[in-house]
Structure 1
Amino acid sequence: MIDVTVENFESEVIAASMQTPVLVDFWAPWCGPCKTLGPILEKVETEYAGRFKLVKIDSDQQQELAGAFGIRSIPTCILMKNGQPVDGFMGAQTESQVKAFLDKHVPSAEETQAQDDVADAQEALASEDAESALERYQHAVATDPANDDARYDYVKLLLQQGREDDAKVAFAPVIAKAETSRKLSALKAWMDALDFSAQSGAMADFDARIAANKRDFEARMGRARKLLAGQKWTEAMDELLDILMRDKDWSEGAARKLYVAILELIEPPRVKVADGQIPPEDPTVATYRRRLSSVVLS
């Protein structure tokens, strides 16, 4: 529990709520119901173990903040997420009522653990420790099987490490979602390209066909898929651009669809930082996104 003033409101409430829901308790020392509610809030904060953050604002001492929130009676609690108030309640509440209110808005224990695992995995990747990252991603998926973002990161890293069989096993529970999820569709396109590459001829065969006929789009698509299988991202997109420049609608837009899938695969995570800002787009992704738009819209 943290006492908040005008001086630390920005850091302890606004910035903090970008990462974790913040419950703001407006109270006063003379308020009887506040004395009943306060210990309940502190007990629940301990039990929820980081799923939300509790702060307290003395309405008498911090009248500017109380006025900004339109506080008319105390106790009043306001829940903040992503820098904005999303819900609240007035008056003393029982422990079960407080928990029911919080459970509508804060992540479950499983979701929180999975988020922690993903954060640990990203730190491991930053340290070039792929094995530790895989362990954390695997734990995240096991803890929260519905977390498709964590599963995407896990399967993607398995593929990057050449563990195709493990990737297919991890991907199997969500394969049906590939038709409606851009990220999962991209993973499926990569795995399909790996299967195609293993079953098709040598790259030289595709090169020979293209040399003989620059409009052999089947050969160009095959070459692009083999490049994708080898994680030669930009070379694969260059090949697909050659198709698009000659026939944008070939095979019901197959070249554009695969190009978009590759853009998704090479897009690094763009995580909000403490002030809520999102880092700029990766320069390679930005360049190839512009090239696609230029060709498709021409």
Structure 2
Amino acid sequence: MIDVTIANFEAEVIEASMHTPVLVDFWAPWCGPCKVIGPLLEKLEAAYAGRFKLVKIDSDQEQQLAGAFGIRSIPTCVLLKNGQPVDGFMGALPEGQIRAFLDKHVPSEGEIEAEAEEADAQDALAQGDVHGALEKLQQAVTADPANDDARFDLVKLLLELGQDDDAKVAFAPVIAKASGVRRLDALQRWMQARDAQMEVADPQARVEALQGRIAANRRDFEARFALAQLLWAHGQHTAAMDELLEILMRDKAWNEDLARKTYIAILEIIDPPKPKVAEGQVPPEDPTVATYRRRLSSVVLS
């Protein structure tokens, strides 16, 4: 628990809430109910073990802050996330109700564990420890099955390692919502591309045959798309997007927008994790991804 004044409000409340939910307890020394809820909030802060941060503001001493939050009675508690108030309550509520309030807004232990495991996985990948990263991502998904970012990274890595069956098992819990989540949709399209090429006995001969069809008819979009699928399945991402652009330049809406949707899916797959940057800064974009995003925009908007 931290006592906050106007001097440290920005650092202890606004900046801190960018990373951890901050519960602000407005109180005063003369307030009887404040003396009841104060120790209870401190107990819960310890019990939640860093999942939220508790600060106290003396509304008599810090009238400017109390006024800014529109405090009209005490005790009043306000929860901030990402620098903004998101919820609050008034009065000395019992512990069960405060827990219910907190559980609506603070991350679960599993979510925190999953975020830590995922961060460790990215560090392992940066160091070339692929199998260590795979283990960390599996632990992240186990800790928080609802963490779509960790699941995306896990399925992607499994596919990159050629473990398609394991990837499908890991993807199965989110397959029902894949069409509504861009990154999950990208994974599903990639798996479909890989499945479509599993039975191609001689990929090079297939490539040559498709290129022959395209040379004979540049509007043979079925051949172009099949070639893009084959190239993508074998890790030739930019070559696949080049073929899809050829379709889009001639027929933007071909086959219910299939070329554009597949192109976007490839961008999602090849877009690397963004590095951490200082608050307010924009992380740099991968040059290849940036180039192909611009190419898509120029074709679609032309």
Per-residue deviation, 1:262: 0.9
In the alignment, is the contact (CA less than 8 A) between 1:15 and 1:274 conserved in 2? no
Counterparts in 2 of 1:283 and 1:64: CA distance versus 1, 3 Å? farther
Does the alignment pair 1:79 with 2:79? yes
Does the alignment pair 1:111 with 2:111? yes
Aligned length: 298
Counterparts in 2 of 1:89 and 1:177: CA distance versus 1, 3 Å? closer
For residue 256 of structure 1, the aligned residue among 236, 254, 260 is 260
Q: TM-score, structure 2 length as denominator?
A: 0.89
Equivalents in 2 of 1:123, 1:22: separation in Å? 28
For residue 290 of structure 1, the aligned residue among 250, 269, 294 is 294
For residue 227 of structure 2, the aligned residue among 210, 223, 229 is 223
Equivalents in 2 of 1:130, 1:57: separation in Å? 48
1:82-101 aligned at under 5 Å gives the runs 82-101=82-101
Per-residue deviation, 1:59: 2.5
Q: Please state whether the residue corresponding to 1:231 is helix, strand or coil.
A: coil
Counting aligned pairs with the same residue, the percent is: 69
Aligned to 2:179: 179
Q: Which amino acid aligns with 2:13?
A: V
Counterparts in 2 of 1:274 and 1:50: CA distance versus 1, 3 Å? farther
Counterparts in 2 of 1:101 and 1:252: CA distance versus 1, 3 Å? closer
Counterparts in 2 of 1:289 and 1:171: CA distance versus 1, 3 Å? same
Equivalents in 1 of 2:127, 2:7: separation in Å? 36
In the alignment, is the contact (CA less than 8 A) between 1:77 and 1:88 conserved in 2? yes
Q: Which amino acid aligns with 1:206?
A: L
Per-residue deviation, 1:186: 0.8
Per-residue deviation, 1:240: 0.8
Q: TM-score, structure 1 length as denominator?
A: 0.90
User: Which structure has more RCO (C-alpha within 8 Å, separation ≥ 6)?
Assistant: 1
TM-superposition CA deviations, 1:126-151 (whole Å, max 9, x none): 33332222222211212222333321
Counterparts in 2 of 1:94 and 1:251: CA distance versus 1, 3 Å? closer
Runs of 5+ unmatched residues, structure 2:
none
1:101-250 aligned at under 5 Å gives the runs 101-200=101-200, 201-202=203-204, 203-250=207-254
Aligned to 2:272: 268
Q: Which amino acid aligns with 2:229?
A: R
Equivalents in 2 of 1:275, 1:29: separation in Å? 36
Q: Please state whether the residue corresponding to 2:105 is helix, strand or coil.
A: coil
Q: Which amino acid aligns with 1:189?
A: R
Equivalents in 2 of 1:130, 1:9: separation in Å? 43
Per-residue deviation, 1:173: 2.2
Counterparts in 2 of 1:223 and 1:103: CA distance versus 1, 3 Å? same
In the alignment, is the contact (CA less than 8 A) between 1:186 and 1:265 conserved in 2? yes
RMSD over equivalenced CA pairs, Å: 2.3
Does the alignment pair 1:279 with 2:254? no
Q: Which amino acid aligns with 1:211?
A: A
Per-residue deviation, 1:235: 1.8
